[in-house]
Structure 1
Amino acid sequence: MSTTSSVTTTTTIINTAIPLSSFEKVKNAYNHRDYGELIRQATNTIVHIEQLELLLMLEHRAHALGMKSKFGAAEQDAETMIKYAPTLPQSYLCFGKILSMQGKQKRALKVYQEGLEKVPTNHLAYGQLLQAKKMADEKNNQHFDLVSALPLEVKDEIVKLLSEAERSNLFDVSTTWSQRLENCQEAWKYIYNDHDHNGDIAVSQVLSKIAKHINHLTITTTEENVWLKYLGHLENGHFRNLKSLVLTDDMVVDVFCTNSITSLMNGFWKMRYTLTNIDLRFYKYGTSITITDILFHLPYLKKLFFLVRDSLAEVLGELEVLQEPHRSLIDFTLSTSSTSSDALKSLTRWCPYVRRLRLEEATPSALDIVTDYFLNVEMLGYNNGYELPVSHEVLNQDHNNNEPIIPIIGMNNMYTKQEQGRLRAFYSGNGWEGVSGDEFLRLLQKNQKTLEIIHANMGITSQQDLDGEPYDNFRPDYAREAASVVLNLDRLQKIMFWPDIYGVYEPLFCRMVGPSLKYFKSVGTSDLFAVVDTLINSQEILETLGFAQVFIESNDQDNALAAQCWIRLFNKYAVTSLPGPNTTKKLRNVMLDYCYNISDNVLDALANIKTIKGLSFQGNSRITRQGFKNFFIKLNKQNVQITKLILGSMNNVLDRNMLFDIISIMDELEALHLYDIKWVTSDDIKVSIHSAKKLNTLVLKRCDADSGDIIAFVNSTSRKFKYVKIIEYLDLDSDFDFDTFN
C-alpha cells in the first residue's frame, strides 16, 4: 500500500499474510477431529485477520484526516494503532508522518525512536523506520523557522490566539517555538481544558514548562494517567502562581485514595499563599476530602465552592484540628445531599467571616442558624440552584459593612446568638421547592433594617406536600402572624416573589412597596387584580416591573378583565413615569414572561410609556403577529429607544421576518437574548449583529445556532462585545435565573 503527503513519500509494508502455522494448526485439529482445538485455533486466526483489517482502515483514515488538516483526529487514529499493535512498524510510521505534516519534527523523532525500540529488527519494514527517523532528523536540523524572524510581541499575539491544545503541541515544532512558548506568561494564565480530551492530554504533557505561569486552572480529565500528572505537579508545588483551581470530574473520585488526597493537600499547603479560590465538585458518593482538610491546608482561602453527594455531617471532618477560626474565607458555596442545622451550626465557629453564603439541600432550620450564628453573612442563597450575583453589582454601595463583626466565643465554644441580623440579600429557588413560612418570617423580622434584595419562593415545601396541605380549616402559625406583621424595610430596593398556598405572603410583599423600592416582580400571582391595585395605589414609581407565569384559567370575560387590569397599570405609568432630567425615578424595564392573558391592546398601552429601555416577552399569549409588530412600530415613532430585548418561546407570534423587522428599527439595541427559538440559525444571528450596530451583548439558549460559528463571527468583527453566551442545553446556573434586569 502506498501513502503520500506533501511532506514525505514512503511505502508502508503491511504484512497481511496469515502465518502458515495458523492454517496448519487448524488443519491438524480438523484431521484429528479435535473440535475444541479447532475452534480455538480458528478463532485466533479470525481475530488476527480482523486486527490487520482494523489497522489498515485506521491508517487509511489517519492519512485522509491529515490531508484534510484534521490533525487532532488523525493523531488519535495513529495512537490507537500503536496501542492496538505496539510491535508493528506501520503504526509508528503513520503517526510520525502525521506529525511531520505539521512540522513537529522533534515529536516525530520521538515516535520513530519508540518504534525502533519496540519493533523486531527482522521485520520487513524496520528499515523504513530507520529511514523515516533519519529524514525527520535532517529536516529538524535544516528547516528555517519563521518564528525566529518575528518581533517578540507578534510571537506572543500569535500564541495567545491559539487553543490550549494547539499551543501545547507547538512545543514540538522547534527549539525557538519551545523557548518562546515557555516564556510567554500571558498564554498560560488561564487553562480551562473545557472537557476537551485532546486539550487535557496536550496540556498535561507540557506542565513542567508552563505550570509556573498558570493563574487559573480547570482540571476536567477523564484519564487517570493525565490526572496523576496534574496531581504530581500540584504536590510538588510547580503551580507556584496558582490563584484559582476548579476540579470536577467523576473519574477523579475513582482514583482518589489516601495517597492521592495526601498529595493534593500537600500541594494545597505549598500553594497556600496564592491559591485563594477553589471549586471542588464530586458527583459520586463517598468523597474522602473534608472541609477540615481544605480549611487547614489553605489558611488564606477566600472563596470555596464544595459540591459532594455526601451529607454535610459526613464531610465536616475533625474541625477542632483547625484550633482557631478561618479568617480569610468570605465566599462559601456548600452543596451536599443534606445540610442539617446541627452540622451547619458546628461550622459557624470556624467560618465566622463568611459574607456570601450559598446552601443547597439545606433543611428549613438552616435559615435560623444562618441568621443567628453566621454573624457577617450579607448575601444568602438558600436552595436557589444558581450562582449568586456579584455583590458590588447588586448591593447598595453607599451602605457597606466594611468591617466584619469580631465574633465572641461563649463558654460552649459557640458564638452568642444574635438578636439582629445584617443580611442584605436573600435568594431562594426559582420555581422549585418553596421556603418554610415560619423560618422565613423570622428571617424577615431579624434582618428588616438591612435587607435590600428579596427573592422569595413561598411555594409549597416538601413537608407541606407530605402533610397534604392545604386542608380544611387549617392555617399555620406563620399565616396568622404574616397577615398582620408590620415590617420596616427602609432599605429594600428589589423584591421578586412567588405566593404561598395560604395567600398571606403576597399581601405582605405588596405592603413592602415603598420609597426605596426600585424593582418589583410577581411570579405566579394568585390575585393579579389585588397586586395591580396595590401598585397603582402606592403612588410609587418603580424602575423595573415584572410579571411571570400569570394564568387566568377561566373564560374570555376573565381574560378581558385581566387585560383591563394591565392597561390601567400601564396607563398610570405613562402619566407618572416621564422622560427628562427632572424625574427622579422612571420605569425603565418591563418583563411580561409567560403571561397568557396579555393582548394587543395591553401592548398598545405599554407603548405609551416613553421611558422604557428594556423589554422581556416570553411564552405564548393572546398577542397577534400584527399587534406585536405594531407595538414596536409605535415605540419607534415615539422615539422610545430599547437597549435590551429578551424574546423566548413565542411560537405564535415570532418568526424570522418578524425578528429582523424588530431589530432593524432598534438603533440603540445593545443586548439581545433569544431563548428556545428553534428556527434561529447562525446566519440569522449574523444578520442581527450586522443590523444592530450597537449590539455588544448576546445570549442564546437552546436555539438551532452553531456556537462555534457564531463565536468565530463575533471575533472576526471589529466590534467589541462585552458578553456572549450560547447555551445548547438545560443549564441550572443560568436557566432558572429570572433576574434578567438588575
Structure 2
Amino acid sequence: MPSSFAPNKIDNTLAESFQKTIQMLNNAIDNNKHPHVVEHAEFLLQNHFLKILDASAHAYAMQGKPTCALVAAERIIDYSPRSAVGYIRKASIYSMYGNQRHAIAVYNDGVRMVESSQEEQILCLTTAREEATKKNESRIDFMDILPTEIVNSVIKLLPKDTTVACLELSKVWRERILECTDAWRNLSVADTQEDTKLVDEAQYIGSHVEHLKLSTTSMSIRIKYLQALKEHHFKKIRSLELTVSDTLTSLTVEITNDLRDITVAEILLSCNLLSNLIYQANSTIETCIGNFSMVSKNCGLTNLELKAKTINGPDIEEMLQSCQKLRRLVMNGCRTSVLGSINRCAPKLEILGYNTDVSVPALKDLKKKTDSEEPGLRVLYTNNGQAYVPTSAIFPLIYKSRYTLEELLACLTDLTAPEVQQFNTTYMYFKLPRVIKLNMWPCAAIQPYLLRSIADSASLKHLCVIAPADIVELTRTIMNLGEPLVSFEIAHVQSINGRPSLIQLFERYARLSETQKSLESVIFRYCAEISDPVLSALSGIKTLSEVTLRGLAHVTTQGIHGLITKLSDQLTRIELSGMNTITDDTMLVLGNLCNIYFIVLNDLKNVTDDGVRGLINKIPQRQLSKLTITIKKCPLINDICIQHATQKVKAVYTT
C-alpha cells in the first residue's frame, strides 16, 4: 500500500482547548454577540475541524480509497482556501498513488491561493512541489515494464475500490486494468461509490465477465448493465443473479446461450408482483419452465410471451394451472398439443398468439368488458401464412370461443373427407356473432364453414382473405353482411371468374357511400381478379381513403390513373408496389391528390428521379409539410433525388 505523511495528532491540550472554545461559542450565541461567534467558529474551524478532516483524508488514502481521500481533502480546501493544509494533503494523495503531474498542479494552486504573508506555508508548498517534480521526472511505471502476466496477477488481487481508483491514474493503467480478464471474471454490483463509477465501464469490462450479480437498488445502474447485456457486451456470461425489488411488475428475459436457463418458475417465485413477462430461450420449454409446485396458485401474471425451441402442451399445463389470472399468452415454438392444454387450463385467457409472426394486440387495446359479458378468448392469432395450423387441432378452441371472439387470424389447413363429416356433425351451427376483424386462408373444404360463421354479421368491419377457393361465394357473403366493411384485403388469387361479383360488390358499396359509412380501405395483392373494370367500380366509393395495389398483373396504367384521378379528393394513403405499369406519368397523377398524407413506392422499375420530382412539384404546397413518402427498391431513383424530396416533404423513408 502507498505511504503518505501522517497528520498532526490532536493532543489533550488541544482537546481541552476545543471544549473551552465550544463553551465560549455557545455563550456568544446565547448572548447574540455575533463578532465573538465568528471569532470562536473560525478558531474551531482552523484548529480542530480541518485537522479532523486531514486525519480522515490520510486514513482513506492509507486504506486504498483515494476517491474518498480526495473528497475529504477538497472539503479542507473549500473551508479554508487560503490555508496550505488542504492543498498539501490533496497533492500528497495524488503523489502516493503515482500521479505526480496532478500533485504538481495542486501544489501550484496552493502557491497561488495561500496568502503571501504565510511564508512558512508557501515554503512547504514549494518544497513539496520540487520533490513531486523530481519524482515525475524519474518515475518508473511498473505497468510499462513488467510482463502482462505479472501485472494481471497484481491487478486481480486488488479490492474493487482500489481497482476503480487506479483506472483514473493514467491511460496506460486504465488500458491494462480494463484488459485484465481475471479482475472482472466475477463481477458483483452493489450500491457503493465504486459501483456508481464502474457502471460507465460496463461496455469495456463486459467481455471478461462470466458471472454477474446485480444487487444494486439503483434503477439507473441496473438499467445500464441490462442494456449492456442486451447489446451483447457480455459475450462470455454464464450466470446472472438479479436481486429485484418487490415493486417489479414487468420483466424481459432473453437467454441466448446453451447453458442452464433461468426458469420461468424461478422468476415468478422471485418477483411476487410480476404481471408482465417476456421470456425467450434457445432450449426446449421443458428445460426452462421450471418447477411450479412452489409457485402460488394466485400468481398475478396476466401477460406472458414465451419463445423456445419447442413447446409441448404437457410441459406448460402446471404453469397454466398456477397462472389462473393469465389474460394474454403469446407463444412461438409450439406443437399442436399446446392448444388442448390452453383449452383446458386457461379459463381467463382473452388474447392468444400461436406461433404467430405478426404483432399481437396488447391487453390495453381491448375494450373493457361489461359485467354481463361471459369470459372467453377475444383475440386469436396464428401464423400469417408461413405455416398452416391443423384445423382439427385448433378448431375446438375457436368453437369454444365462438361467442367471445372479436379478432381471428386463422391460417388453417384444409379438411380431409373424414374431417368434413365430423365438422358437418359437430360444427354445423358455427357462428362468430361478435367478430370485428377476420383474417382467413379459406381452402376449399374449410371455406364454407368460415363464410357461414360471418353470414349476416353486423359486427364484422375488417376482412382479409388470402387465396380463397371460391371468390363468388366470398363476395356473396360480403354483400349480405348486416353492415358494410370498413376495410377489405384480398390476396393471392389466380382465377378471374370472380371479377363480375367484385364489380357488383363495389358498385353496391358505392351506392351505400352516398348516404352512409362504407368501405374506407382496400388492399389488393397478387390478385388476378383485379382488372381495370374492378378498379373503376372501386373508384365510385366516396368513403374510400386508403388504397394498396401490389403485384397486380391484370391492370393497366390507364386503369390505375383513372382510379387515382377519381379519388383525388379522398385518398390519404396510397401504396403502389411491384408493378411495371407504374411509370413517371403515374407520379404526375399522384401529384393531383389534395389530401394525401402517405405515399409508398415499392419495387417500381419504371419510376425515375423525374417522376418523383414531378410528384413533389405538383402536390399542393399546404400538403407537402404533412406528406410522408416511403421509397423502397426503386433502382432508378437516386440519393440526390431522395435528398431533394427530404427537403420538401415532412419525411422520406428509404430501405
User: Offset at 1:551?
Assistant: 1.2
2:430 to 486, 493, 509: 486
Q: 1:291 to 1:507 in 2, by over 3 A?
A: closer
Residue in 2 that maps onto 1:661: 588
Where does the alignment leave 5 or more consecutive residues of structure 1 unmatched?
1-113, 122-171, 173-205, 213-218, 404-419, 461-468, 553-558, 729-742
| Whole-Å separation in 2 of the counterparts to 1:588 and 1:694 | 24
| Whole-Å separation in 1 of the counterparts to 2:548 and 2:354 | 26
The one-letter amino acid of 2:328's match is R
1:565 to 498, 501, 509: 501
Q: 1:625 to 1:684 in 2, by over 3 A?
A: closer
Structure 1 residues 709-736: Cα deviation after superposition (integer angstroms, max 9, x where no partner): 99999998895x7xx876x4xxxxxxxx
Structure 1 residues 71-107: Cα deviation after superposition (integer angstroms, max 9, x where no partner): xxxxxxxxxxxxxxxxxxxxxxxxxxxxxxxxxxxxx
Structure 1 residues 189-234: Cα deviation after superposition (integer angstroms, max 9, x where no partner): xxxxxxxxxxxxxxxxx9936979xxxxxx9x9x783366798684
Residue in 2 that maps onto 1:236: 216
Residue in 2 that maps onto 1:620: 552
> Contact conserved, 1:211 with 1:238, CA < 8 A, in 2?
no
Alignment of 1:524 onto 2:503: no
| Whole-Å separation in 1 of the counterparts to 2:218 and 2:336 | 44
Q: State the secondary structure of the residue aligned to 1:571.
A: helix
The one-letter amino acid of 1:571's match is E
User: Offset at 1:367?
Assistant: 2.1
> Superposition pairs for residues 413-432 of structure 1, below 5 Å?
421-432=375-386
Q: 1:226 to 1:515 in 2, by over 3 A?
A: same
2:261 to 288, 291, 294: 288
Q: 1:628 to 1:571 in 2, by over 3 A?
A: same
Q: 1:475 to 1:451 in 2, by over 3 A?
A: closer
1:388 to 343, 350, 360: 360
The one-letter amino acid of 1:261's match is L
1:339 to 281, 292, 311: 311
| Whole-Å separation in 2 of the counterparts to 1:646 and 1:657 | 16
User: Offset at 1:452?
Assistant: 0.9
The one-letter amino acid of 1:298's match is C
> Contact conserved, 1:243 with 1:277, CA < 8 A, in 2?
no
The one-letter amino acid of 2:382's match is S
Sequence identity (%): 22
> Contact conserved, 2:582 with 2:607, CA < 8 A, in 1?
no
> Contact conserved, 1:649 with 1:677, CA < 8 A, in 2?
yes
User: Offset at 1:606?
Assistant: 0.8
User: Offset at 1:686?
Assistant: 8.8
Alpha-carbon RMSD: 4.3
| Whole-Å separation in 2 of the counterparts to 1:115 and 1:495 | 77
Alignment of 1:649 onto 2:557: no
> Contact conserved, 1:541 with 1:577, CA < 8 A, in 2?
no
User: Offset at 1:254?
Assistant: 5.9
| Whole-Å separation in 2 of the counterparts to 1:568 and 1:282 | 54
> Contact conserved, 1:494 with 1:518, CA < 8 A, in 2?
yes
Residue in 1 that maps onto 2:127: none
Q: 1:546 to 1:236 in 2, by over 3 A?
A: same
Residue in 2 that maps onto 1:514: 457
Q: 1:686 to 1:309 in 2, by over 3 A?
A: farther
Residue in 2 that maps onto 1:587: 519
Greater Rg, structure 1 or structure 2?
2
Residue in 2 that maps onto 1:157: none
> Superposition pairs for residues 165-180 of structure 1, below 5 Å?
none
| Whole-Å separation in 1 of the counterparts to 2:266 and 2:142 | 45
| Whole-Å separation in 2 of the counterparts to 1:290 and 1:709 | 52
The one-letter amino acid of 1:289's match is I
Q: State the secondary structure of the residue aligned to 1:502.
A: coil
Alignment of 1:355 onto 2:327: yes
Q: 1:284 to 1:568 in 2, by over 3 A?
A: farther
| Whole-Å separation in 1 of the counterparts to 2:145 and 2:338 | 68
| Whole-Å separation in 1 of the counterparts to 2:616 and 2:275 | 39
> Superposition pairs for residues 436-451 of structure 1, below 5 Å?
436-451=390-405
| Whole-Å separation in 1 of the counterparts to 2:324 and 2:342 | 11
Where does the alignment leave 5 or more consecutive residues of structure 2 unmatched?
1-138, 147-167, 169-193
Residue in 2 that maps onto 1:197: none
Q: State the secondary structure of the residue aligned to 2:549.
A: strand
| Whole-Å separation in 2 of the counterparts to 1:700 and 1:565 | 34
Structure 1 residues 381-415: Cα deviation after superposition (integer angstroms, max 9, x where no partner): 1111232134444x3x3636799xxxxxxxxxxxx
TM-score (norm 2): 0.61
> Superposition pairs for residues 398-409 of structure 1, below 5 Å?
399=369
Q: State the secondary structure of the residue aligned to 2:504.
A: helix
Aligned residue pair count: 466
> Superposition pairs for residues 72-83 of structure 1, below 5 Å?
none
> Contact conserved, 2:626 with 2:649, CA < 8 A, in 1?
no
User: Offset at 1:540?
Assistant: 3.3
| Whole-Å separation in 2 of the counterparts to 1:712 and 1:376 | 52
Alignment of 1:601 onto 2:529: no
The one-letter amino acid of 2:357's match is G
> Superposition pairs for residues 160-559 of structure 1, below 5 Å?
208=196, 225-226=205-206, 234-240=214-220, 255-257=236-238, 260-262=239-241, 265-266=242-243, 269=244, 271-273=245-247, 275-327=248-300, 329-393=301-365, 395=366, 397=367, 399=369, 421-459=375-413, 474-475=418-419, 478-481=422-425, 484-487=428-431, 489-500=432-443, 502-504=445-447, 507-508=450-451, 511-538=454-481, 540-552=483-495, 559=496
Residue in 2 that maps onto 1:671: 598
> Contact conserved, 2:352 with 2:380, CA < 8 A, in 1?
yes
Q: State the secondary structure of the residue aligned to 2:465.
A: strand
| Whole-Å separation in 1 of the counterparts to 2:645 and 2:252 | 30
The one-letter amino acid of 1:649's match is G
Q: 1:701 to 1:629 in 2, by over 3 A?
A: same
| Whole-Å separation in 1 of the counterparts to 2:531 and 2:377 | 40
Residue in 2 that maps onto 1:166: none
The one-letter amino acid of 1:208's match is T
| Whole-Å separation in 2 of the counterparts to 1:119 and 1:648 | 63
Q: 1:115 to 1:512 in 2, by over 3 A?
A: farther
| Whole-Å separation in 1 of the counterparts to 2:450 and 2:553 | 26
User: Offset at 1:252?
Assistant: 7.4
| Whole-Å separation in 2 of the counterparts to 1:452 and 1:439 | 20
> Contact conserved, 2:305 with 2:329, CA < 8 A, in 1?
yes
| Whole-Å separation in 1 of the counterparts to 2:476 and 2:144 | 86
> Contact conserved, 1:495 with 1:519, CA < 8 A, in 2?
yes
> Contact conserved, 1:497 with 1:523, CA < 8 A, in 2?
yes
| Whole-Å separation in 2 of the counterparts to 1:402 and 1:709 | 61
User: Offset at 1:671?
Assistant: 2.9
User: Offset at 1:516?
Assistant: 1.3
| Whole-Å separation in 2 of the counterparts to 1:335 and 1:247 | 22
| Whole-Å separation in 2 of the counterparts to 1:716 and 1:287 | 53
| Whole-Å separation in 2 of the counterparts to 1:509 and 1:246 | 50
